[in-house]
Amino acid sequence: MNENDFRSIRSVQALIDREVPVALDKFYARVRQTPKARSFFSSESQIKHAKHAQQTHWKRISGARFDDEYVKKVRTIGSVHARIGLDPSLYIGGYGIILNHLVQSVIGDMLSHGGFLSRTSSRVARNLGDVIGSLCKAVLMEIDLTVSSYLDDLHKARVAMQAEQDRRAQEDREVIEIIGSALTALANGDLTHRIASGRIPERLDALKQHFNHTAETLEHSLAKIAVNATDIVSNADGIRQGAENLARRSEQQAATQEEMSAALSQITQRVAKTAEETRKANQMANMARGDAEHAGSVVHGTIAAISEIEKSSREMAGIIGIINEISFQTNILALNASVEAARAGDVGRGFAVVASEVRALAQRSADAGREISALINLSGGQVKSGVTLVHEAGDALRRIMSQVQQINDVVSTISDSAQEQSASISQLNIAMGGLEQTTQKNAAVAEESASAVRNLVATSDELTRMVAGFTLSGRDIRPAFARQKPKLALIRTE
């Protein structure tokens, strides 16, 4: 652009200043309708701010002030567009809207013949093409400067990005070599290898930390495995001895239980036989109790019969007393008859003989009565003795019946207890058989456990040899985790 272009632009400065706000309104109306363009503005206030800045910038263009400050300003705009990622097509399209409106305004003002062109020199009016051309040059120059700055910044960004990528690629190669060396050391069994600080860029420092942490954890774990393997070997030997002792004792216990089972079988048979004999004794006691009850009934009958005999004896004694009284009276009458016969003399001599005979008969009756009375008294005493003996026999029979009943109860209790003991011993015998089987199974399990422990010892030895192939730090890690590992408590079998 030259001075003529500057004069042409200044000749329409008033028109440009007047129409630029209208042109910007058209532009931002299009922005609001275009989602891609609208995304660069978060609010209406940002649109107003941008519109105000563009109006100020267009005043510089309408005044044809294309100095260094203008160039700097335009390049800044291009840099901003590059930074925010504005598509140049949106920027150029916006200038197209503004330039179209300004050109139409200039032509319209000339056609109206009432505009500012009528008040300017005839030379400017004749050179309307120069005005429009100069205006287009100014817009194209600004687009060129802006896009050039935009492309320059993009190029610089690409160059910087490529340099950064190259630098990072070199760093990545170095890091890969460092990590590869560290992994090789680990693969060779050196668990003490660590990546030193400062060898890896800060952005990849997490790799160093992860590797060092992994190596340290692996070293610590293998060290613990080594210690635990040694402890396993030590403790497993004790477990093996205990398991073998347990197996041996289980076999002995199984043999003892087998003997106990046989003894219980014999006891069961004997108790069953005792229960049978007790049942027979109970039956015999019941029979004896029945006989005793029958004998008691006989004794009661005997007592009743003797009581009747005693009663008859008392009645006979009464009759004998009457006979004795009759004999006494007869004797008195015979005595009186003899006295009367003596008084009668010879006349009463025959009557005296009769009276003498009657007296003799009465005397014999009295003697017989006394003898019978003596016999009855003797029989009464014997009957009383018999009654006493029968009562004593009855009491003895009652005691015998009571004792037989007690014996029967005791024998019944013994019989029930014997049967219960027989059943209990039978159950015990069955339980002993089950316990014997369980003990045999335990012995087999103990033997399997001893075999498993022997395998564990062999595996632990192999593990210890494998861990010995790694290089570990010399520090003793036992205190670090001794509190976390419970001691094995072996079961005493002896």
Assess if residue 489 is contained within a domain: no
* 124 plus 256 within the same structural domain: no
* 156 plus 260 within the same structural domain: no
* 163 plus 232 within the same structural domain: no
pLDDT of residue 122: 54
Phi-psi region at 64: left, alpha or beta (left = phi > 0; alpha = psi -120 to 50): left
In terms of average pLDDT, the best of 16-30, 403-417, 478-492 is 16-30
Assess if residue 402 is contained within a domain: yes
Closest CA to 423 of 238, 271, 251: 271
pLDDT of residue 325: 78
Assess if residue 193 is contained within a domain: no
Question: Cα-atom radius of gyration of the chain, to the nearest Å?
Answer: 76
Cβ of 17: how many Cβ atoms within 10 Å? 15
Name the amino acid, one letter, at 355. Answer: A
Q: Could you give the number of structural domains in the chain?
A: 2
d(CA 109, CA 119): 11
Assess if residue 38 is contained within a domain: yes
Window from 121-135, 187-201, 284-298 with minimum mean pLDDT: 121-135
Assess if residue 322 is contained within a domain: yes
> CATH number of the domain that 15 lies in?
1.10.490.10
* 33 plus 155 within the same structural domain: yes
- Residue 16: helix, strand or coil by DSSP? helix
Instruction: Write the DSSP symbol of residue 66.
Output: -
- Read off the pTM: 0.37
- Confidence band (pLDDT; 50, 70, 90) for 33? confident
In terms of average pLDDT, the best of 138-142, 152-156, 179-183, 380-384 is 179-183
Phi-psi region at 208: left, alpha or beta (left = phi > 0; alpha = psi -120 to 50): alpha
Domain boundary among 137, 170, 203: 170
pLDDT of residue 102: 82
* 9 plus 94 within the same structural domain: yes
Window from 8-17, 54-63, 203-212, 382-391 with minimum mean pLDDT: 382-391
Assess if residue 409 is contained within a domain: yes
Domain boundary among 114, 145, 170: 170
- Provide the mean pLDDT of the chain: 74
pLDDT of residue 176: 87
Q: To which residue do tokens 């002030």 refer?
A: 65
* 372 plus 428 within the same structural domain: yes
* 291 plus 364 within the same structural domain: yes
* 132 plus 243 within the same structural domain: no
Assess if residue 199 is contained within a domain: no
**pLDDT tens-place string over residues 171-181:** 888 888 888 88
* 130 plus 222 within the same structural domain: no
Q: Output the six-digit token pair for 351.
A: 């009557």
pLDDT of residue 353: 74
* 221 plus 291 within the same structural domain: yes
DSSP string across 245-303: HHHHHHHHHHHHHHHHHHHHHHHHHHHHHHHHHHHHHHHHHHHHHHHHHHHHHHHHHHH
- Confidence band (pLDDT; 50, 70, 90) for 113? low
> CATH number of the domain that 236 lies in?
1.10.287.950
- Between 3-11 and 13-33, two packed helices, what is the crossing angle to 10 degrees? 80
Judged against a pLDDT cut of 80, whether residue 130 lies above it is answered with no
Judged against a pLDDT cut of 80, whether residue 114 lies above it is answered with no
Percent of the chain predicted with pLDDT > 90: 0
Terminal C-alpha separation, the chain: 116
Q: Which domain holds residue 371?
A: 214-481
pLDDT of residue 348: 67
Judged against a pLDDT cut of 60, whether residue 304 lies above it is answered with yes
Q: To which residue do tokens 């207890």 refer?
A: 417
* 135 plus 240 within the same structural domain: no
* 218 plus 359 within the same structural domain: yes
